[in-house]
Amino acid sequence: MFPPETGKVFRDNAVYFSGVHIVHHALKIRTLEIRPTPAVVHILADHMKPGSHGSTFGGNPVCCAGALSILHRLDGPLLQSVQEKSDFIVSSLTGAKGVKSVTGLGLMLGVETERPVKDVINDCMARGVLVISAKNKVRLLPALNIPMAQLEQAIGVLKAVCAEV
pLDDT digits (tens, 9 = 90+) for 26-73: 444 445 555 544 544 555 566 666 666 666 556 667 777 777 787 787
Q: What is the pTM of this model?
A: 0.68
pLDDT digits (tens, 9 = 90+) for 72-126: 877 888 889 999 999 999 999 999 999 999 999 999 999 999 999 999 999 999 9
CA neighbor of 59 nearest in space, from 41, 35, 38, 39: 35
What is d(CA 133, CA 110) in angstroms, rounded to the nearest whole number?
A: 8
What is d(CA 44, CA 49) in angstroms, rounded to the nearest whole number?
A: 9
Tell me phi and psi for residue 140, to 5 degrees. Answer: -110, 130
What is d(CA 158, CA 140) in angstroms, rounded to the nearest whole number?
A: 10
CB neighbours (10 Å) of residue 115? 16
CA neighbor of 139 nearest in space, from 93, 103, 98: 103
